[in-house]
Structure formats: C-alpha cells, structure tokens
Amino acid sequence: MTTPEQRDESDNLVRGMWAGAGAIFMFTLMNVFAKHLSSSHSIIEIVFFRNLIAMIPFLIAGLAFRRAIFVIQSKPHVIVTRAVLGAITLGMTFAAFSLMPMAETTVLLFTASLFIPVLGVLALKERVGPYRWSAVIMGFIGVSIMVQPTGAVTMLGVGVALCAAMLQAIMSILLRHLGGHERPETTTFYFFVIGTLISGAAMPFVAKAPALQEVPIFIGVGLAGGAAQWLYSTAMKYTPAALMAVISYSSIVWAILFGWLVWSDWPLPIVFVGAAIVIASNLAIVWRETHLSRSLKDKQTPLP
C-alpha cells in the first residue's frame, strides 16, 4: 500500500518532470524569438529586453509577497560573477542562434556538460577517471562530425556556440556552489538585474526603435525567458539532476520543429549522426555521475 509520503514524493517527481519539460520548451521559444529579432536588432538590445522584461514579475512578487527574494545571504561576489557571466553567455547564445540553424546550434550547446569535467580538473583539481574522459572525447568527436563546412554551419557560428557552452558550464559550477547558500529566486532575480544593467549600458549605442509588429516578440523573449528560469528552478527542486539532463534533450526536437516551421531548415543526415554521438556521450557522463553518487551514498550509509 502506498504511504502518504510516497504519494507526495511521486507527485513532486511528476510536477518536477512537467516543470522541466516546460522549461526546455520555453527556453527554445525564447531562442526562436531572439533569432527572429537578430536579423534587424542588436544582440545586446535583445539581451537587455529579455532581462528587463523577465525581471519585472520577480520584482513585483518580491515587493508584494516575499521581500526575502532581495536578501543575499552569504555569497554576493559569486552571485555577481555568475550574473556577469550570464549576460555574456546569453549574448553569445543569441549570437550563435543568429549565425546558424536552430538544430545545429542546440546540439553544440549540449557540449556544456562535456566542458564540466574538464573545468573540474583545471579549476577545482577534481579527479576525472577514464570513463568520463572517454565520454568527453567521444562528445567532441560527435561535434567534429556534425560541423562539416556547409552553408548552414559556419566556423564562426561553431566557435561562438562552443564558447557559449563553455560559459554555461562555468555558470553551472557556480550555481552548484550557490545552491547550498542562496535561495534560487534570489540568484535568478539578481541574474536579471545585473544583466539588465550591463546590457543597458550599451543601449544608447545600439538601441533601435522596434516596429509595431516586433513589440510582441520582444515581450515574448522576456516572458519566455522568465518563465523558463522559474520552471527550471522548480524542476531542479523536485527532479534528480540525471533525469533533468535526459529531459533537456527534448530541446533538439523543438529546435528541429521550429527551425523547419519558421525558417524551413532541416538538418543534414550528418547532423543527426553527430547529435546522436554528442547526446550519447552526455548520457554516459550522467550515468557515471549517478553511479558514483550512489556508490558514495551507500558507503556513507551505516549498517543496520
């Protein structure tokens, strides 16, 4: 018979999975809006409105309900560092989507998780075994297969996307560090605030009045981005990281669908081959991390 605690845990897992799937869809939708706007507006301008519009609901909620959102508990320097990197990363992500089709860019951004073990060795002196090194190497072989020179995939776009992925990996490490010290909504709020200030400093030089039909798209960038961040925080609260990593691969489905419907882009077969290798290498890392985590937990559990 199912106990109330088991039902609550099951309900929370289902809630987390739905939130995770929603977050991935909203992130993809945000990138679709940004890619559409990039043909006539500066990337910096798009980043500014994305952060500004996404910040407003958090600001209203904080003033009306939870002023604790504004309180940084112990890691202000890490919050600021992550927010600055976040503004740069968002700009490079939007730039990558402006330079290449949706599907190819999305797969290249998957390499963020491949950079994490490398950064762990370089910055945190972590030990990475042969299993994870093999997965990392296979992942980048998949990238090299996918990015054969074509009219759709340019080396500039590949370079920008890989730089964005590396910065995403750094932000993930910082977010992991912040997780035990700060509220997720506080971290997210200051992410938007600092991103708005940084991109806003350049607005006098890049701003261009949007056409009337572009106003809803600018609003869409911000609302989709804000909703994605909130849903992602909810998902990470209730969903194991390994399961969330698997859910994130749904973004390639949405990217292919939107790329086909909006820009008539359909990936070449070589892209599917490279994408399969990249995703398989990511799943190998997820499996290895989960296995090591369970082994460590079993060793720490006292015998009855």
DSSP string, the chain: ---HHHHHHHHHHHHHHHHHHHHHHHHHHHHHHHHHHTTTS-HHHHHHHHHHHHHHHHHHHHHHT-GGGG---S-HHHHHHHHHHHHHHHHHHHHHHHHS-HHHHHHHHTTHHHHHHHHHHHHH-----HHHHHHHHHHHHHHHHHT-S-SSS-HHHHHHHHHHHHHHHHHHHHHHHHTTTS-HHHHHHHHHHHHHHHHHHTHHHH--PPPGGGHHHHHHHHHHHHHHHHHHHHHHHHS-HHHHHHHHTHHHHHHHHHHHHHH-----HHHHHHHHHHHHHHHHHHHHHHHHHHHHHHHHSPP-
| pLDDT over threshold 60, residue 150 | no
Note whether residue 137 is domain-resident. Answer: yes
| pLDDT over threshold 70, residue 72 | yes
Count of domains forming the chain? 1
Mean pLDDT of 116-130: 67
Confidence of residue 99 (pLDDT cuts 50, 70, 90): very high
Mean pLDDT of 187-193: 89
What pLDDT shows up at residue 200? 96
Note whether residue 30 is domain-resident. Answer: yes
Q: Which is more confidently placed, 297 or 153?
A: 153
| pLDDT over threshold 70, residue 55 | yes
Note whether residue 5 is domain-resident. Answer: no
| pLDDT over threshold 90, residue 297 | no
Note whether residue 35 is domain-resident. Answer: yes
| pLDDT over threshold 70, residue 126 | no
Q: What is the pLDDT of residues 219-229, one digit of tens each?
A: 999 999 988 88
Note whether residue 3 is domain-resident. Answer: no
Mean pLDDT of 187-216: 93
Which pTM was predicted? 0.84
Note whether residue 1 is domain-resident. Answer: no
Q: State the chain's mean pLDDT as an integer.
A: 83
Note whether residue 196 is domain-resident. Answer: yes
Note whether residue 4 is domain-resident. Answer: no
> For residue 253, what are the domain limits?
13-206+215-300
What pLDDT shows up at residue 137? 83
Confidence of residue 43 (pLDDT cuts 50, 70, 90): very high
Percent of the chain with pLDDT over 70: 83
What pLDDT shows up at residue 127? 66
